[in-house]
Amino acid sequence: KTLSSRSLASVAEYILSGRAKRIVVMTGAGISTAAGIPDFRSPDTGLYANLASLDLPEPEAVFDLGFFKVNPRPFYVLAKELYPGNYHPTVSHVFVRLLAEKGLLHQLFTQNIDCLEREAGIPAEKIIEAHGSFASQRCIECKTEFDAGKMREFVSQGEVPRCEDGGCKGLVKPDIVFFGEQLPKAFFDRRDMAEEADLVLVMGTSLQVHPFAGLVDLAAERVPRVLFNLERVGSMGCQADDVLALGDCDEGVRRLADELGWREELEEKWRG
């Protein structure tokens, strides 16, 4: 066993003793719900439970490339709701920035497409956006990039943008990874960073989507893993040094910050 007990106090002790220098953080939609962005799979509040009005064969179809080619409208209804610009980073995002500032963040792997990691001030080279983001967009046919300002207009009007490159007229899609698409090269290039971790923090994800979900099992078995999530997920809790901080992730993160003596710093940075 690496930790003295399966508690946040032991995790803090482990960090403060200098044994955690390569912390790997893995996040999902649950770290952004406090910002007002719904997650996907929560039973009542999740996006997939609230897509009935869009007439989808199944909720996941909204992110399915084959379906998008036939009917891009449902995605653009959703895009309007999720589009970055209207939301602020949460305490959980800011905690990851704090880790980076203290030189302890090895890599952040996020599934989120809301760009709140960048907005929180986490250095770009520390962020792997495993499912892409709304930061850029291109034609799905000829791959020509589409202007960001125009994209914002189309999305805000609920219109579907089409390629303007020499009569191509292909559908334009943000560089978000849809089902049926490959994850970005950076995800595969940096996957070994997860193997190098000396502490793994998993926050706000159901660990239902692969290959991302497999990341949590890449670190050595003696490496402590902490789950900040409303529910127990994946293999979290199965190893001797797994710590489950079940409940709201901002609350869990604040408790860890208290144990670390970083609470005031965290709140200050969060208030901006």
Q: Could you tell me which residues are annotated as the binding site?
A: 139, 142, 163, 168
Least separation in angstroms between CB 165 and ligand OAD:
25
The values of phi and psi at residue 12, to 5°, are -65, -45
- How far is it, in rounded angstroms, from Cα 14 to Cα 27? 21
Amino acid at position 118, single letter: R
Tell me whether residue 8 or residue 233 sits nearer to ligand OAD (CB atom).
Answer: 233
Which position's Cβ is nearest ligand OAD? 30
**If you count them, how many residues does the chain have?**
272
**Residue environment code for 30-68, b if the CB has 16+ CB neighbours within 10 A, otherwise e:** bbbbbbebbbbbbeeebbbeebeeeebeebebbbbeebb
Which span (18-26, 50-58, 194-202, 205-213) binds ligand OAD, by CB under 6 A?
205-213
Give the per-residue contact string, 111-130, with ligand OAD (x = CB under 6 A; - = no). x-x-----------------
Report angle CA 96, 100, 34 to the nearest 5 degrees. 15
Is 106 catalytic? The answer is no
> What x/- string results for residues 21 through 60 when contact with ligand OAD is judged by CB under 6 A?
-------xxx--xx----xxxx---x--------------
Choose, from 88, 93, 106, 131, the residue flagged as catalytic.
131
Nearest 10 degrees: Cα torsion 142, 148, 151, 152: 170
For residue 97, state whether it binds ligand OAD (rule: CB under 6 A).
no
Q: Is 208 in the site for ligand OAD (CB under 6 A)?
A: yes
Which amino acids are annotated as binding site for Zn(2+), given as ranges? 139, 142, 163, 168
Q: Which residue, 4 or 208, has its beta carbon nearer to ligand OAD?
A: 208
Among all residues, which ones are annotated catalytic? 131
